[in-house]
């Protein structure tokens, strides 16, 4: 129920790189999609990604509680706190990176930081540590890949939320970029996101991945732009009205 698709991508990425043996691989009935039996696989990587999913979900829930005083989010966070603590014991380096990220992001938001690259870099630093499963020969490359993926994700989310944040007068570093470069704003956003995901793809291509390589390339070269294209469609509909 707390599925994070970035962590789903991470499972496919790390599985392609490390090619672990599955501890279990069975058919089951998914509670969310019960109409057709699904196949699940469990291995060290799925366990790791599940830990990271809990960690990220917990902090997102707490952040929503602080912002909106949403008691439902607070309740769900309390329900997974034990799982969070256990994940933190197993993955201290990654959890410390996530906690540091949340602290610095709150500081940047409070200070109304205008530098979009600096703010996006926080997400990049955090996701870089999460993507680097082990401190082995692949650590640096996975961290680089995660860093640029994280910066792209933050930028895309900020771009998607811009209209809403302008109406509610909420913090969004793209508001400052738009006010300073209104004529070239759309071009600048597209160029920055293209640069970030290009660096991410370069890191991927340097990894010796054969298993699931085409799925991963499809995500990196095409799938990541689905949200951007959807935003453009919505903008076009509004302008036509």
Is 238 contained in some domain?
A: no
- Average pLDDT value for residue range 33-59: 92
- What pLDDT score was predicted for residue 161? 94
DSSP H helices, 19-113, are 44-68, 71-79, 81-90, 92-110
Classify residue 4 as exposed, middle or buried by CB count within 10 Å of its CB (0-12, 13-18, 19+): middle
- What pLDDT score was predicted for residue 150? 96
Is 18 contained in some domain?
A: yes
Is 208 contained in some domain?
A: yes
> pTM (2 decimals)?
0.91
Token pair belonging to 233: 């469609």
Is 239 contained in some domain?
A: no
Q: Is the pLDDT at 31 greater than 90, yes or no? A: no
Is 125 contained in some domain?
A: yes
At 130-155, the pLDDT tens digits run 999 999 999 999 999 999 999 999 99
How many structural domains comprise the chain?
1
CATH of the domain at 138: 1.10.600.10
Is 233 contained in some domain?
A: no
Classify residue 127 as exposed, middle or buried by CB count within 10 Å of its CB (0-12, 13-18, 19+): buried
Is 226 contained in some domain?
A: no
Is 201 contained in some domain?
A: yes
* DSSP-assigned letter for residue 205: H
List Cβ<8 Å contacts ≥24 apart for 7-11.
Answer: 7/49, 7/50, 7/52, 7/53, 7/56, 8/49, 9/216, 9/219, 10/49, 10/52, 10/130, 10/131, 11/45, 11/46, 11/49
Domain that holds residue 72: 5-30+37-221
């Amino acid at each position: 129920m707390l599925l994070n698709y970035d962590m789903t991508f991470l499972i496919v990425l790390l599985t392609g790189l490390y090619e672990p043996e599955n501890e279990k691989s069975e058919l089951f009935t998914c509670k969310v999609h019960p109409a057709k039996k699904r196949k699940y696989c469990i291995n060290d990587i799925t366990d790791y990604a599940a830990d990271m999913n809990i960690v990220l979900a917990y902090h997102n829930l707490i952040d929503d509680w602080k912002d909106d005083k949403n008691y439902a989010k607070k309740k769900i966070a309390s329900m997974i706190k034990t799982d969070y603590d256990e994940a933190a014991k197993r993955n201290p380096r990654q959890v410390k990176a996530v906690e540091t990220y949340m602290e610095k992001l709150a500081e940047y938001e409070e200070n109304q930081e205008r530098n979009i690259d600096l703010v996006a870099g926080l997400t990049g630093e955090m996701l870089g540590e999460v993507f680097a499963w082990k401190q082995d020969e692949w650590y640096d490359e996975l961290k680089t890949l995660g860093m640029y993926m994280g910066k792209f994700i933050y930028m895309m989310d900020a771009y998607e939320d811009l209209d809403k944040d302008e109406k509610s007068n909420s913090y969004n570093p793209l508001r400052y970029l738009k006010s300073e470069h209104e004529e070239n704003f759309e071009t600048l956003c597209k160029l920055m996101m293209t640069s970030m995901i290009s660096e991410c793809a370069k890191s991927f291509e340097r990894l010796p991945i054969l298993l699931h390589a085409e799925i991963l390339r499809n995500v990196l070269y095409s799938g990541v732009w689905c949200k951007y294209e959807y935003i453009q469609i919505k903008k076009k509909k509004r302008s036509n009205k």
